[in-house]
């Protein structure tokens, strides 16, 4: 806690209405801050003088006018306090939200057919459909985004189809596994795993 945070709490402390963590934090601050201790002593003296002053009749409406003229005490939002105490977590949360919005936006906006793989010589593309003809062999993994995959030949690797479908003929042979991603969350998880794999590969 700093002096700026402690100042509005001193009045509550004098009134006896400050409790819990805020009271404990203020007491800890007062132990190490001579300026705030001095300010608290001044407040206590003023309060003592007010109580010692002879009582007089207060004009009607004076209290209300004084209270209205006073500036409102700004109480800090609990979220703001948490962000100030945990800056690294706040940055990570903002980064995650930005990445999430980017991924979801890409999921909604990107509808272009994409075909990825190390061996695409035997792949035939017609419209939004990717064909692996009978008698042909694709060496390695094959990824198809926003389209259909028709496999009549062989694929020596894994198949990943994102926002599309896969059809296997009776002549097809797949040596790896088949993964179909149809939901934004699954697609996000797939992209994050690839991103993490890229980063680890750069180390």
Both 104 and 124 in a single domain?
A: no
Both 147 and 66 in a single domain?
A: no
Both 116 and 182 in a single domain?
A: yes
Q: How confident is the model at residue 159 (pLDDT cuts 50, 70, 90)?
A: very high
Mean of pLDDT values over 162-179: 90
Both 96 and 155 in a single domain?
A: no
Both 15 and 47 in a single domain?
A: yes
Among the candidates 57, 74, 91, a domain finishes at: 74
How, if at all, do strands 154-156 and 114-117 pair?
unpaired
Mean of pLDDT values over 65-83: 68
CA 174, CA 194: separation in Å to the nearest integer?
Answer: 22
Both 87 and 132 in a single domain?
A: no
Both 101 and 70 in a single domain?
A: no
Domain region containing 195: 112-202
pLDDT at 166 (0 to 100):
92
pLDDT at 188 (0 to 100):
63
Please tell me the total count of domains within the chain: 3
14 Cβ contact partners less than 8 Å away, ≥ 6 residues apart: 40, 43, 44, 47
């Amino acid at each position: 806690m700093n002096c700026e945070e402690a100042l509005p709490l001193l009045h509550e402390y004098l009134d006896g209405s400050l409790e819990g963590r805020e009271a404990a934090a203020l007491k800890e601050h007062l132990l190490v801050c001579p300026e705030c201790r001095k300010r608290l002593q001044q407040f206590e003296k003023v309060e003592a003088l007010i109580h010692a002053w002879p009582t007089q009749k207060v004009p009607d409406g004076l209290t209300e006018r004084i209270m209205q003229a006073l500036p409102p005490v700004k109480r800090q939002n609990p979220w703001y306090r948490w962000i100030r105490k945990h800056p690294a977590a706040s940055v990570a949360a903002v980064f995650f939200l930005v990445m999430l919005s980017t991924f979801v936006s890409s999921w909604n906006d990107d509808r272009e057919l994409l075909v990825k793989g190390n061996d695409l010589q035997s792949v035939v593309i017609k419209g939004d459909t990717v064909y692996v003809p009978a008698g042909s062999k694709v060496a390695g993994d094959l990824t198809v985004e926003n389209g259909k995959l028709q496999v009549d030949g062989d694929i020596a690797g894994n198949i990943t189809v994102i926002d599309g479908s896969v059809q296997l003929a009776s002549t097809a042979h797949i040596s790896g596994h088949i993964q179909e991603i149809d939901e934004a969350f699954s697609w996000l998880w797939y992209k994050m795993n690839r991103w993490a794999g890229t980063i680890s590969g750069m180390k």
